[in-house]
Structure 1
Amino acid sequence: MKTILIAGGNCGIGRQAARDLLADGHRVVLMGRDQRKGEAALASFGNQADRASFVAANLSTHAGVRDAARRMLDQQDGIDALVHSTGVLTLQESRTADGLHPFFAVNYLSRYHLTQLLLPVLRQAERPVVVMMTAAIPPTDDTDFARFPEFTAFDFGRDRKAVQLGNHHYAAHLTDTEPGLAAAVVNAGAAKTDIMRIAPGT
């Protein structure tokens, strides 16, 4: 039985991944901002909920990520895999408490930050795995990394590629620098989940 942390696992694709992993006999820890969604996700697992737990966390800020990692390290004896399904989709110019655009802060930076903080416990796993879910994008696409990471002012059509490609670069970095750790970026395909709540026509 593996212990798998799913950041963003309280809804959408992350929750479905949790359901599938539970069906395979594993233990899952869901992490998300909304306590009610987390409790609803646990309730939806039925008699498999005894192998699932939820940690409320705000992964859009540095402080929130540090707090989430600290609680995970305090509460879990080990973590075998980390799945990042967190994501926001906003076309507006807004900023987090750290002065970063939410699309960058959640869809890339929180993944890097949380993984780095949990690497000490991941390294203790027999075969540690880190998976990052993101939209499909050809890694060879032209991208303006000169605007990374401030993105002033954020333009979704222009800047999303750098954020999404950041996941690919980080996965490659983990593979190169962490012996025995498998890292991957996955496109789960189009799905109507909460991330699309502000998109036109959904």
Structure 2
Amino acid sequence: MTTFTTAQIPAMTGRTVVVTGANSGIGRAAARALAARGARTVLAVRDLTRGRAAAATMVGDVVVRRLDLADLASVRAFAADLTDPIDVLINNAGVMVPPLGRTTDGFELQIGINHLGHFALTNLLLPRIRERVVTVSSNGHRTGRIDLDDLNWDRRPYRAFPAYAQSKLANLLFTAELDRRLTEAGSPVRATAAHPGMAATNLLAHLDHGRSPLQRLRATVTERLSQSDEDGVLPTLYAAVADVPGGSYAGPAGLLQGRGAPTLVGRSRTARDSTLARRLWALSEDLTGVTCPLDTAHTRPGGPAYCP
């Protein structure tokens, strides 16, 4: 088991990191730790006022840029504006069990923000990424089921927890397929994933949503067992800077992966389904209109990534 702490983050001077959802919770903790080690850190946030307030608490070269993952036009604008090389992209932003909602483009809110928004962002930025893409998932992926015929809950009665689990499973399938494509292309870029265990972040805001006594009990237990942002962020940082293989999944080493030092952890059988990962990728391209960029010139060692 690793004893990884923020003190083991290598010097990041001269490197650029983009963190989505960096104005609070795990994202803010990740951005703060990486900026402190010298990285030029871009806080990709929907609310610029909150983003600037978060940046004011950090030491180092910190830039705030607007990104609304619930609006593909915003995702495209962000990617077009960010023209410099990116060393590490951390796909952290997310929503958890909100009431039924839709993104600007009509996607169910959780699959739209947690997966499709990050899918589009990653592929738009990929020609400029040099080292790693980290996507934050959840242990909740284990109960997830991908419905390729109704990804956006148009035909089924909406259920917040299954919708959340589907989005977090999608994060792991995306990571696996992205890493497969990068490896096949001979790219030096690695795709990894992480989950924070039970972390007391703003994601818990909707946990008491609904009338079910079981939902309310689950919310109470989760909040009482949760660890701090500073502890919850360690798997994300480990996946971002440690020497781990592409496709790795990091999480806490403690009981039920709820808390503890970061280590590489397992995932559900469904999350390891390569055929499902490819089908989800194709569907995500169709839904977002964003495809994996083709540029064989970027396969040289040390160059940016591309996808075949």
TM-score range, shorter chain: 0.7 to 0.9
Whether the aligned pair in 1 keeps the contact of 2:96 and 2:164 (CA below 8 Å) is no
Report the Cα offset of residue 172 of structure 1: 1.0
How many residues are paired up? 191
Identify unmatched segments of 5+ residues in structure 2: 1-12, 209-219, 224-308
Report the Cα offset of residue 142 of structure 1: 6.4
Amino acid at match of 2:29: Q
Structure 1 CA distance for aligned equivalents of residues 89 and 150 of structure 2 = 25
Structure 2 CA distance for aligned equivalents of residues 195 and 114 of structure 1 = 21
Whether the aligned pair in 2 keeps the contact of 1:18 and 1:28 (CA below 8 Å) is yes
TM-score (normalised: structure 2): 0.58
Out of 158, 165, 177, the residue aligned to residue 161 of structure 1 is: 165
TM-score (normalised: structure 1): 0.87
Q: How do 1:3-152 and structure 2 match up within 5 A?
A: 3-45=16-58, 48-49=59-60, 51-73=61-83, 77-122=84-129, 125=130, 128-137=131-140, 143-152=145-154
CA RMSD across the alignment: 1.8
Whether the aligned pair in 2 keeps the contact of 1:101 and 1:154 (CA below 8 Å) is no
Whether the aligned pair in 1 keeps the contact of 2:141 and 2:168 (CA below 8 Å) is no
Out of 167, 190, 197, the residue aligned to residue 189 of structure 1 is: 197
Structure 2 CA distance for aligned equivalents of residues 41 and 138 of structure 1 = 29
* Range 22-31 or range 87-96, more displaced: 87-96
How high is the sequence identity, in percent, across the aligned residues?
29
| Alpha-carbon displacement from aligned partner over 1:138-185 (angstroms, at most 9, x marks no partner) | 66x562424442222432233333211111111111111112211111
Secondary structure of the corresponding residue to residue 42 of structure 2: strand
Report the Cα offset of residue 62 of structure 1: 1.2
Q: 1:170–1:88: structure 2 CA closer, same or farther, 3 Å change rule?
A: same
